[in-house]
Amino acid sequence: LLVCNFLIAGKERIAMRKEVMETNLENAAKYEQLLIRLREFSAGNTLPMEEPLLTDIFKNVSKILLKEESLLELELPLVICGDIHGNFCQLLRIFNRIGWPPKVRYLFLGDYIDRGYRNLEVIALLFTLKILYPEAVFLLRGNHEASPVNRNYGFKREVRNRGFSTLFWLTAQITFNCLPLAAVIASKIFCAHGGISPFLKDFDQIRNFQRPLNVPSDGLIADLLWADPSDDTENFALNEIRNTSVMYGKNAVMQFCKDFSIDLTIRAHECVEEGFAYFADGKLITIFSCPNYNGNNNGAALTIDEECKIEITTFCSISSSSNVENEEYLNAEDEKKH
């Protein structure tokens, strides 16, 4: 029955992609052309971005996202990426090193925008890939994919500075409101941007959230996007660092894994020096994919194969961190850890 349901879901998504593409064949060709331009981006160059085309991409990707559950249920293999934060060169670096969709399947954990310099290119590439290859690219929501945050941390400013309208920014928020909130991989790995919550008692709570939705200031949705692990608490405590959501300790992670029959939790949301960090005796991994975000931190992406073996690719920081858009950055050597 599960296999049949999976096959049916796959057929529905193929039909959905066909429906999206056939509704506007002219723009479908433009999507392909835009993807080529984005892939061939050369560091330091200006890439023209057209508001009507990006608006159309937002509207079509929203249809695809809303066909998915608020809790994605995915199979292996997958590459999992954390925060990108407008670092388009790093996004290209990940795809060029590990592989491009649809040959390689990806799950991104959110925070695509803010603080970086090419937010529009990042979301244009990810959303275009989602339209073209909906079964190879999966996108979760991060805390920056919410208007109270991205109006203040760079995205809205970039929209304005590049000549786009306020209506375009508002359209982007509608699309962000459509993003799924969490994922379960192979029934054993839980993924969310921030992590776990004391309000989470059953995965149906996440499945039952109706999107599009705004992010509330507290509660389960807020925790999925905002919560942090902490060595200073055993279970749950108020997150005084962020002034919202909670912090969770080792005991909370262990109990969550036991209650939900989960082997591993993977989250993003925090810049960690090596690009990845273990917590709770390896039951939780933080993955952060944007090098040079906070000084000389590395970035990382996590690959899980069909047998659930994990390989972490680190993307080293570069010394010239004041300019992350140069050939040195795109061609920097990477190191694999097992």
Active-site residues, by number, are: 144
Tokens at residue 234, please? 């055993």
In this structure, the number of other CB atoms found within 10 A of the CB of residue 277 comes to: 16
Give per-residue burial for 20-44: e unless 16+ CB within 10 Å, then b. bbeeeeebbebbeebbeebeebebe
Tokens at residue 10, please? 């796959």
Q: What Cα–Cα distance (Å) separates residue 110 from each residue in 53, 145, 214?
A: 23, 7, 15
Judge residue 67's burial from the number of C-beta atoms within 10 Å of its C-beta, 0-12 exposed, 13-18 middle, 19 or more buried. Answer: middle
Q: What Cα–Cα distance (Å) separates residue 16 from each residue in 12, 22, 54, 79, 133?
A: 6, 10, 20, 24, 11
**Distance (Å, rounded) from C-alpha 182 to C-alpha 195?**
9
Tokens at residue 125, please? 């590439």
Q: Which residue has the tokens 């786009």?
A: 164
List, in sequence order, every residue forming a beta bridge with 326; answer none if it has no partner: none
Tokens at residue 220, please? 């389960």
Q: For the chain, how many helices (H) and strands (E)?
A: 12, 15
Q: What Cα–Cα distance (Å) separates residue 259 from each residue in 193, 199, 253, 306, 330?
A: 20, 13, 10, 24, 43
8 A C-beta contact, residue 69 and residue 183: no
- The alpha-carbon radius of gyration of the chain (Å, integer) is 19
